[in-house]
């Protein structure tokens, strides 16, 4: 007798039921997506107001980029910023030349390919080489690092936009497999575009409990804002991170804020220490809002939270600012609180015996604002820092900034680059722009593009 199963009505019915359940499930997922999209669209339309609209363009294969484009539009409209959401399939060169600001949400598909709806844009608009000198843009690049060509289309689009003369509003944000931390970082960047600083996080970080163990003013008597050394230890266990990583802090309201308002969104800070320190150290500038209240995150960390008290904290890996191999010479450039990210790298390099380091640091006045001066001097004495260039802007009649120190040292800079050096920049966006422009003058646009392409020009600018 054969062992083949006998086809019975009962079996057929079961099979039909399984298929039916599956079809219903798929339909419900698709319906839910469509409903969510429609609701977002309706809310976006309801919120749309006049003025110079920001164009939000999505290049999407399976719909994730499109969802995020609508969410992005909604977030902007909370700040009364008019937006227009468009598929890249409908985007023309005229749209780009007649708009001042555009935000792209672009995924990558296949083996590093553009999504299908982008075919015409890639084939025609990109080839036509329009002049985008009047355009500023932000770019959210979706991908999955298990593919060799990670975020390839987003990177390609970014390179094309800068080649055409468009100016980035902030550095490209890359999202690996839907990483929520990276999406919160995008939201954080959007706050600069929308002017809304308290929009709730799209997803709440899975915070760990940490303890604030030390808080010390780094610049007593400064003409500038207070800068604090803030140290935190995990409430239980140990934590791991790499130089270049970032913390997300869950701030609480200050005493001048009604307690029943929703919890503020996360705030981000560059980590200034390494795990061997046993603690996370930050350099936090106390910010003041136009109405005189302290900044959400900085008020919490530098004014309101008790030393010894709990802090909600999550470490976010920031691969874009991870270290080069120790054998490479490293030029570290930063101003103000930007020293934080550079300090983590210097600590890691010191521990690895990597001594070809050149620090370029700027602040207002040497007497008050030379953060962690004793450490920098000890690194110099101990051979960890081969060279230090300081730009204290207010210590002489004319203002001197880090980019001026770079220009003065142009020959040495070229020499270091010829020896394989990497350039790491940390700090405010304006400093980042000025440094980028000066580096391009010194090294040339092609060399900068090559450095970027090879991961030897990296930035943590905010
Ligand atoms: C068939 C397929 C191929 C993909 N190829 C890449 C790739 O080469 N590089 C990459 O970074 N991501 C790749 N991804 C990941 C997508 O970019 C990621 O899932 C993105 O969030 C999809 O966004 P979308 O729904 O807007 O298309 C691929 C995904 C799929 C399904």
Mean pLDDT within 191-200: 90
Question: Over 50: is that where the pLDDT of 374 sits?
Answer: yes
Q: Is 27 in the pocket of ligand 1 (CB under 6 A)?
A: no
Report the separation in Å between the CA atom of 234 and the middle of ligand 1, taken as the mean of its atom positions.
Answer: 36
Question: Over 90: is that where the pLDDT of 32 sits?
Answer: no
Specify the pairing of strand 267-270 against strand 280-285.
Answer: unpaired
Our mutation pick for probing the ligand 1 site, out of 56, 65, 108, counting the most ligand atoms within 8 A of Cβ, is 108
pLDDT digits (tens, 9 = 90+) for 110-150: 999 999 999 999 999 999 999 999 999 999 999 999 999 99
Q: Which CATH number fits domain 208-316: 3.40.50.300, 3.40.30.10, 1.10.443.10, 2.40.30.10?
A: 2.40.30.10
Report the separation in Å between the CA atom of 167 and the middle of ligand 1, taken as the mean of its atom positions.
Answer: 26
Closest among 92, 104, 102, 88 to 54, alpha carbons compared? 102
Q: Which atom of ligand 1 is nearest to the CA of 66?
A: 26
Concatenating the DSSP letter of every residue in 368-396 gives: HH-TTHHHHHHHHHTTS-SEEEEEETTSS
Mean pLDDT within 92-109: 97
Q: Which atom of ligand 1 is nearest to the CA of 150?
A: 11
Rounded to whole angstroms, the Cα distance separating 416 from 43 reads 53
Question: Over 50: is that where the pLDDT of 102 sits?
Answer: yes
Q: Whose CA is nearest to atom 4 of ligand 1?
A: 109
Q: Is 183 in the pocket of ligand 1 (CB under 6 A)?
A: no
Is the Cβ–Cβ distance between 90 and 125 less than 8 Å? no
pLDDT score of 48: 45
Q: Is 295 in the pocket of ligand 1 (CB under 6 A)?
A: no
Q: Whose CA is nearest to atom 7 of ligand 1?
A: 112
**Partner residues linked to 116 by β-bridges:** none
Q: Is 10 in the pocket of ligand 1 (CB under 6 A)?
A: no
- pTM equals 0.84
pLDDT digits (tens, 9 = 90+) for 277-336: 999 999 999 999 999 999 999 999 999 999 999 999 999 999 899 999 999 999 999 999
Q: Which atom of ligand 1 is nearest to the CA of 65?
A: 26
**If you search the block for the tokens 């003041």, which residue do you land on?**
288
Who has greater pLDDT, 247 or 16?
247
Rounded to whole angstroms, the Cα distance separating 402 from 306 reads 35
SS3 of the chain: the string is: CCCCCCCCHHHHHHHHHHHHHHHHHHHHHHHHHHHHHHHHHHHHHHHCCCCCCEEEEEECCCCHHHHHHHHHHHHHHHCCCCEEEEEHHHCCHHHHHCCCEEEEEEECECCCECCHHHHHHHHHHCCCCCCCCCCEEEEEEEECCCCCCCCHHHHHHHHHHHHCCCEECCCCEEEECCCHHHHHHHHHHHHHHHCCCCCCCCCCCCCEEEEEEEEEECCCCCCCCCEEEEEEEECCCCCCCCCCCEEEEECCCCCCCCCCCCCCCCEEEECCCCHHHCCEEEEEECCECCCCCECHHHHHHHHHCCCCCEEEEEEECCHHHCCCCCCCCEEEEEEHHHHHHHHHHHHHHHHCCCCCEEEEEEECCHHHHCCCHHHHHHHHHCCCCCEEEEEECCCCCCCCCHHHHHHHCHHHHHHHHHCCCEEEEEECHHHHHHHHHHHHHHHCHHHHHHHHHCCCEEEEEC
Q: Which CATH number fits domain 324-461: 2.60.40.2140, 3.40.50.80, 3.10.180.10, 3.30.300.30?
A: 3.40.50.80
Q: Is 116 in the pocket of ligand 1 (CB under 6 A)?
A: no
Who has greater pLDDT, 232 or 48?
232
pLDDT digits (tens, 9 = 90+) for 206-246: 999 999 999 999 999 999 999 999 999 999 999 999 999 99
Report the separation in Å between the CA atom of 153 and the middle of ligand 1, taken as the mean of its atom positions.
Answer: 10
Mean pLDDT within 253-270: 87
Rounded to whole angstroms, the Cα distance separating 156 from 150 reads 11
Q: How confident is the model at residue 43 (pLDDT cuts 50, 70, 90)?
A: low
Rounded to whole angstroms, the Cα distance separating 55 from 67 reads 15
pLDDT score of 104: 98
Question: Over 60: is that where the pLDDT of 445 sits?
Answer: yes
pLDDT digits (tens, 9 = 90+) for 145-158: 999 999 999 999 99
Q: Which atom of ligand 1 is nearest to the CA of 176?
A: 11
For the chain, percent of residues with pLDDT exceeding 70: 95
* 48-194 shares its CATH topology with 324-461: yes
Report the separation in Å between the CA atom of 240 and the middle of ligand 1, taken as the mean of its atom positions.
Answer: 29
Q: At what angle do helices 64-78 and 180-194 cross, to 10 degrees?
A: 40
Q: What are the domain boundaries of the chain?
A: 48-194, 208-316, 324-461
CATH number of 48-194: 3.40.50.360
Q: Is 110 in the pocket of ligand 1 (CB under 6 A)?
A: yes
Rounded to whole angstroms, the Cα distance separating 312 from 287 reads 20
According to DSSP H, which parts of 315-372 are helical?
Answer: 339-351, 366-369
pLDDT score of 263: 84
Q: Which atom of ligand 1 is nearest to the CA of 113?
A: 8
Question: Over 50: is that where the pLDDT of 49 sits?
Answer: no
Mean pLDDT within 39-54: 57
Helix H or strand E segment including 314: strand 310-316
Q: Is 151 in the pocket of ligand 1 (CB under 6 A)?
A: yes
pLDDT score of 227: 98
Rounded to whole angstroms, the Cα distance separating 336 from 370 reads 9
Question: Over 60: is that where the pLDDT of 400 sits?
Answer: yes
Question: Over 90: is that where the pLDDT of 413 sits?
Answer: yes
Is the Cβ–Cβ distance between 87 and 142 less than 8 Å? no
Q: Which atom of ligand 1 is nearest to the CA of 59?
A: 26
Q: Which atom of ligand 1 is nearest to the CA of 175?
A: 21
pLDDT score of 3: 58
Q: Whose CA is nearest to atom 28 of ligand 1?
A: 109
Average pLDDT, the chain: 93
pLDDT score of 441: 98
pLDDT score of 28: 83
Q: Whose CA is nearest to atom 1 of ligand 1?
A: 110
pLDDT score of 428: 95
Q: Which atom of ligand 1 is nearest to the CA of 115?
A: 27
**If you search the block for the tokens 């394989």, which residue do you land on?**
420
Q: Is 60 in the pocket of ligand 1 (CB under 6 A)?
A: yes
């Amino acid at each position: 007798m054969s062992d083949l199963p006998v086809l019975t009505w009962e079996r057929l019915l079961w099979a039909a039921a399984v298929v039916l359940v599956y079809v219903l499930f798929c339909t419900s997922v698709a319906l839910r997506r469509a409903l969510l999209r429609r609701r977002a669209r309706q809310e976006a339309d309801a919120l749309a107001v006049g003025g110079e609209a920001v164009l939000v363009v999505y290049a999407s294969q399976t719909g994730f980029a499109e969802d995020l484009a609508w969410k992005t539009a909604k977030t902007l409209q909370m700040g009364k910023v008019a937006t227009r959401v468009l598929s890249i399939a409908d985007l023309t060169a005229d749209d780009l030349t007649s708009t001042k600001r555009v935000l792209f949400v672009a995924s990558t598909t296949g083996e590093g390919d553009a999504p299908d709806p982008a075919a015409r844009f890639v084939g025609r608009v990109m080839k036509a080489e329009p002049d985008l000198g009047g355009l500023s843009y932000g770019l959210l690049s979706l991908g999955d690092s298990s593919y060799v060509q990670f975020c390839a289309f987003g990177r390609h689009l970014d390179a094309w936009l800068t080649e055409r003369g468009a100016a980035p509003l902030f550095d490209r944000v890359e999202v690996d497999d839907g990483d929520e931390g990276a999406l919160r970082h995008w939201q954080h960047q959007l706050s600069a575009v929308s002017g809304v600083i308290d929009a709730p996080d799209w997803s709440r970080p899975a915070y760990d409990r940490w303890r604030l163990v030390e808080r010390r003013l780094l610049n007593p008597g400064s003409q500038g804002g207070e800068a604090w050394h803030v140290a935190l230890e995990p409430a239980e266990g140990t934590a791991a991170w790499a130089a270049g990583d970032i913390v997300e802090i869950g701030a609480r309201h200050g005493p001048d804020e009604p307690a029943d308002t929703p919890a503020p969104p996360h705030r981000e800070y560059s980590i200034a220490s390494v795990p061997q320190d046993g603690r996370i150290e930050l350099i936090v500038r106390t910010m003041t809002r136009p109405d005189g209240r302290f900044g959400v995150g900085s008020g919490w960390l530098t004014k309101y939270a008790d030393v010894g008290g709990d802090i909600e904290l999550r470490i976010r890996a920031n691969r874009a600012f991870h270290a080069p191999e120790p054998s490479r010479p490293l030029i570290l450039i930063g101003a103000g609180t930007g020293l934080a990210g550079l300090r983590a790298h210097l600590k890691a390099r010191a521990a690895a015996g990597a001594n070809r380091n050149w620090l370029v640091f700027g602040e207002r006045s040497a007497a008050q604002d030379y953060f962690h001066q004793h450490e920098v001097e000890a690194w110099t004495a101990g051979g960890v820092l081969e060279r230090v260039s300081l730009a204290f802007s207010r210590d002489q009649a004319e203002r001197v900034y880090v980019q001026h120190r770079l220009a003065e040292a142009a020959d040495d800079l070229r020499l270091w680059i010829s020896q394989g050096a990497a350039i790491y920049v940390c700090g405010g966006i304006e400093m980042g722009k000025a440094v980028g422009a000066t580096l391009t003058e010194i090294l040339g646009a092609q060399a900068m593009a090559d450095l970027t392409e090879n991961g030897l020009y990296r930035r943590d600018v905010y």
